Structure 1
Amino acid sequence: MRMLDFTLDGSPIRLGITDLVIAGWTGRDAHKLQEHIDELAALGIAPPATVPCYYRAGLETLTQDAAVDVLGHDSSGEGEWILLETPEGRFIGCGSDHTDRKVEAYSIPVSKQMCPKPISAALWRWEEVAPHWDSLEIHSEIREGGAWVTYQRGLVAAMRHPEDLLEKARALGVPTGHGLLMFGGTLAVHGGIRPAADFRVTLHDPVRGRGITHGYTTRSL
């Protein structure tokens, strides 16, 4: 088990994580999903036989640090919502499924294990966002030319609902009980997939007028 410290309503909370699962190819809209398939195909990455799919990754890849190390110059971030299932309740945050694209071209599971998985320290209770889930927005940015530019932007409604992902995961024997931390899938990018040293992702709740942001800088080894 990996114990991680978070904040909930401004107060600290420590939660135990036993399984890291990364859901992939989670688009609800077939056309938007095809966009993501096409942009990855341009990098030589073949789609799975069925969607959605689930990848396991080591707990040691989880990080809340503002600086992480990656190997080479072929990795990039992906802004996503994250879900935690714990005895203390279900929680929602955001993170980046940072992935080595060169490795991804020959093995997606290996690429998932290659890079750190930055996640937010702040969380929301599921009950606070469940009634208006589809109105939440994911916005990721990269720093290019000294300025922050939009890399991804869209509603979480573009991806499968968390309950749907959990149901399908259970049917496949993927861990979904207490201790689960799941990445919920990502959006197509603006301007094509590309590396950037500085990345940040925001999960925005327009109904409650709040957001969770996590940013990090990569150092290429």
Structure 2
Amino acid sequence: MWPWEHAVMGYLVYSLFCHLYYRDSPRGLEAFAVVFGSILPDIIDKPLAWEFGVFETGYALGHSVFFAVPLTIVVGMFARSHGRSRAGLAFGVGYLLHLPADVTDGYARGSGELDFGIMLWPLAQGETHGHHHGFVDEFMVLFARYQRELLAGDLSTYIWIQIGMGAFTLLLWLYDGAPVLRECCLGLKRLFGRVVSWRPADQNR
């Protein structure tokens, strides 16, 4: 599953949870935390495997439940100690959704089996490619396959579901008030207001 697909899924699930449980929309920090958490396993594993050859596959430490569960607990406790429990929860939702999402994605894209080995490193590992092109080259190879699939026009039901989920999530994000973007705009507005209202001391005499 591509990073933006993980980000869409993470935000969608967390936003719906907020509306159902908190009766509220995600705040900026929570939206950032769930998106960051949802792509962090790939940020950890892909460069280490493709660029540096530390792992044989892009599903290793970051995708392992033996790393993911303790990490989300530590982040959750840290966030709670600073009065940001919801942000810690958002991070955990995004991160922990990433793992099973990759398992089901591999099955849906035609592998025909659920490869739980990608979640069990170092006790097990997913299928290895046996070569390393480098991070950028490997990304472009995989993206070219994704692009050909889209341009071919004969999209599978699974791809149509992803497109629909992405469109719905975009509308939900706008309904939520565009968190993160909203906070950035408000911060810039406050900063601009300070600059405009500032006067050198000698001009006030």
Structure showing greater relative contact order (alpha-carbon pairs closer than 8 Å, 6 or more residues apart): 1
Which has the larger share of strand? 1
Q: TM-score, normalised by structure 2?
A: 0.29
Q: TM-score, normalised by structure 1?
A: 0.28
- Tell which structure's C-alpha radius of gyration is larger: 2
